[in-house]
Amino acid sequence: MIYIGCHLSVSKGYAAMGETMVGFGGNTFAFFTRNPRGGKSKDLLPEDAAALLELLDRKQFGPLVAHGSYTMNLCAAKTETRENGLDMLQKDLARMEALPGNYYNFHPGSHVGQGAEAGIALIADALNQNLWPEMQTTVLLETMAGKGSEMGGTFEELREIIDRVEHRDHLGVCLDTCHVWDAGYDLVNDLDGVLTEFDRVVGLERLCAVHLNDSKNDCGSHKDRHEKLGLGYLGEDALKRIVTHPALQGKPFILETPNDDAGYIREIRMVQDWM
């Protein structure tokens, strides 16, 4: 049993995404809370949310992994950009409460020349402003490739952010296989070592979801270019070991590979066949 799915469009509503994933043969999915390049989010109607929750329960789906906008930079150098990111985060988390028990994942951001220490402090401050004790959503920091001034390219940066957040019980991590590989963690030759390091620095109990992607680049390239499963530098054997690793069982696996619908259906079946 594995929870596997891909990103879906929210344009036709929330329940429609669930029906689409049932048709794809998967049992989890990701969606952008708003246009990935920014802009207004789609209204969440209570009856639409209720219909999706009923489907998730009936079809025994795993947790969903909503994704914040790529333009949400909580540690930007420009005050206006940071404030825009804070507004997105606040509104997205309020909307997610209509889908209790699921995940909200986001890219930590880029410090744009301010330095990692400043970036860590700003991200933690944004989370401290927007996480509350009774919330029913777990917020996930995504592992990143570490290109440029991007935050989250090391496990240590993620841990430093988490340690500064008051309500850290509502915080977790989404491990992106392409990003981690591109950041320099050798998932091909030392998967156990990478997971042991993650456990030592962050704690495996915080690893809540996996973005399952191959990479167009070699280990440590810091480039972040996703590839279809088995066609990149990670390769099918390594990806199969990741999917079947005992430490990762029960997690939702989300495909972010460069595919059309037919390609995602094919990859969902491929991953299921690995189990």
Active centre residues (catalytic) = 37, 67, 70, 107, 142, 176, 179, 211, 224, 226, 256
What DSSP letter does each residue of 17-41 carry, written as one string?
HHHHHHHHT-S--EEESS-TTSSPP
Which residues are bridge partners to 176 per DSSP? 211
Q: Provide the token pair at 45.
A: 């109607």
Q: What are phi and psi of 254, to 5 degrees?
A: -115, 125
**Cβ(18)–Cβ(265) below 8 Å:** no
Going from the C-alpha of 1 to that of each of 84, 152, 246, the distances in angstroms are: 40, 30, 12
Going from the C-alpha of 104 to that of each of 69, 117, 130, the distances in angstroms are: 11, 24, 13
Q: What are phi and psi of 167, to 5 degrees?
A: -95, 55
What DSSP letter does each residue of 153-221 carry, written as one string?
SSHHHHHHHHHT-TTGGGEEEEEEHHHHHHHT--TTT-HHHHHHHHHHHT-GGGEEEEEE-EESS-TT-
Q: Provide the token pair at 255.
A: 């495909």
